[in-house]
Amino acid sequence: MKEELKKELERIFDDPILAWVNPESTKKMSEVVRDVFPNATKNEICACLEMFWEENDTPETLYDKLMKSKVA
């Protein structure tokens, strides 16, 4: 069971969609969430990210899209 879970996690983290993930980008993503969703619940944040996140997004491109939607 433990070995299966390890293999599954390796498969997930080898996915190209996660290529942008590093310590700096993770910090930037937390800033995006803090700036755009200052009072939102975890469920509200997840729902919005699911609507806006696209495969080639980075924290910067996602931030731009979220800020545009916030103004609109």
What is the Cα–Cα distance from 45 to 66, expressed in whole angstroms? 11
With 60 as the cut, is the pLDDT of residue 71 above it?
no
pLDDT range class, residue 13, cuts 50, 70, 90: confident
SS (H, E, C) the chain: CHHHHHHHHHHHHCCHHHCCCCHHHHHHHHHHHHHHCCCCCHHHHHHHHHHHCCCCCCHHHHHHHHHHHHHC
**Predicted model pTM:** 0.51
**What are 38-68's pLDDT values in tens digits?**
888 888 888 887 888 787 777 778 878 877 7
**Could you tell me which residue, 31 or 19, shows the higher pLDDT?**
31
pLDDT score of 72: 41
